[in-house]
Amino acid sequence: MTPQHSLPSMQGKTCLVTGATAGIGFITARELARAGARVLIVARSPEKGAETIRRIAEETGAQTVEALTADLASQADIRALAREVKSRVDRLDVLINNAGVILLDRRESVDGIEMTFAVNHLAYFLLTNLLLDLLKASSPARIVNVASGAHRGAKINFDDIGGREHYSGWRAYQQSKLANILFTRELAKALTGTGVTANSLHPGYVNTQIFREEGLRGLVMRCAAGLFAIAPERGAETTLYLATSPDVQGESGEYYARSKPASISKEARNEAAARRLWQFSEDLAGMKSQTV
């Protein structure tokens, strides 16, 4: 299935897409709107949100897209975002955690957390947990977490998860994508019997604005992406499949690539690491220990 092909009707469905102003996220939001869904997009600024709504309306004619503003590196913004979602809608059928970054140099979020981990994993974890009650009330509902094949070869370094001792931008990215899969698998177990499913995916090597580093290294990354990466339209295919296809209704805890179940690394199947990551993430997010 491709975004150019018709998706199942999403009339009456409400979807939330993070990282929706460009790349895979934009295509995902656009095609969900084209299929009739009410789509809430998350943008870092009101201007980007408004421009995305305009582009989607221009390309599809859909008038069902709304923009919310949040910096997903900020836990305060994520909490405010969750409150805004709940104030706007009385149901949430699909949550798509898509926003992500690759940073070549170590940075910290406003909360003092290494930026890649904060945006690529902790934002998924916190936003999902804050919206779980709404998702459960909308059952059957789906959670789709955009991970990556880059998780292979990674391991969660609980002793230095922020890379203070030895930082590598690529290793930080790998670790965050491994965290996406571990979180998804643990979440799926906790959601058994609720009618809410959680799956993760590898979109492929996609030419998107995740390669936005400045300087020579950033230029090299963008040039390589331009030469070898697939278009965002193709990259969004698996996300859209997991968000809409009746073929995966009830499937949970799985990892997909090219719209098919795919293998994951041994470390991604580490249940002890998944449980430890959950507790670790609760602590970083300032959440009380809870079951979902």
Instruction: Locate 240 and state its tokens.
Output: 């859209």
Token code pair at residue 241: 């499949």
**Is the four-CA dihedral 17, 21, 25, 26 of positive or negative sign?**
positive
**Residues sharing a CB contact under 8 Å with residue 39, sequence separation 6 or more, in sequence order:** 14, 15, 16, 17, 20, 29, 32, 33, 56, 62, 64, 65, 66
Radius of gyration of the chain (CA): 18
Q: Are 121 and 281 in contact (CB under 8 A)?
A: yes
- CA-based nearest residue to 52, from 34, 24, 30: 30
Mark whether 173 is an active-site residue: yes
Burial class (CB in 10 A: 0-12, 13-18, 19+), 56: buried
**Residue 233: C-alpha distances to residues 55, 75, 96, 133 (Å):** 15, 30, 16, 32
From 124, 167, 173, 256, active-site residue: 173
Residue with tokens 């897409």: 17
- Positions annotated as catalytic residues are 173
